[in-house]
Amino acid sequence: MKHVLRVLDEALHLQEQALAFDVNTPLLGSLPELDSMAAVALITGLENHFGVTFDETDLNADTFATVGSLCRLVQAYVSPP
């Protein structure tokens, strides 16, 4: 989770605020910094950091609902079943 938080912090320019987030921290609709352009930067940052490419069908509002939902997306690609 800490790697996801670091990428989130960098993509949204939160000046290390994201490092204090937990799995229940709401994202979409709660962070004004998370607009459509920032979401693209976040996804690109996560893909680059973890060496994965997300399927567009997995990128929706639910994915960005909380830190936990974002971490679950990354985990699904980093450790496929």
DSSP string, 9-61: HHHHT-TTGGGG--TT-B-TTT-TT--HHHHHHHHHHHHHHHT----GGG-ST
What is the distance between the alpha carbons of residues 21 and 37, in angstroms, rounded to a whole number?
Answer: 21
What integer pLDDT is reported at residue 6 of this predicted model?
Answer: 97
Question: pTM of the prediction?
Answer: 0.92
Digit-coded pLDDT (tens) for 6-60: 999 999 999 999 999 999 999 999 999 999 899 999 999 999 999 999 999 999 9
What integer pLDDT is reported at residue 51 of this predicted model?
Answer: 96
Residue located via tokens 């993509």: 11
Half-sphere exposure of 47 (CA within 13 A, CB side): 11
Predicted confidence band of residue 79 (pLDDT cuts 50, 70, 90):
confident
What integer pLDDT is reported at residue 49 of this predicted model?
Answer: 97
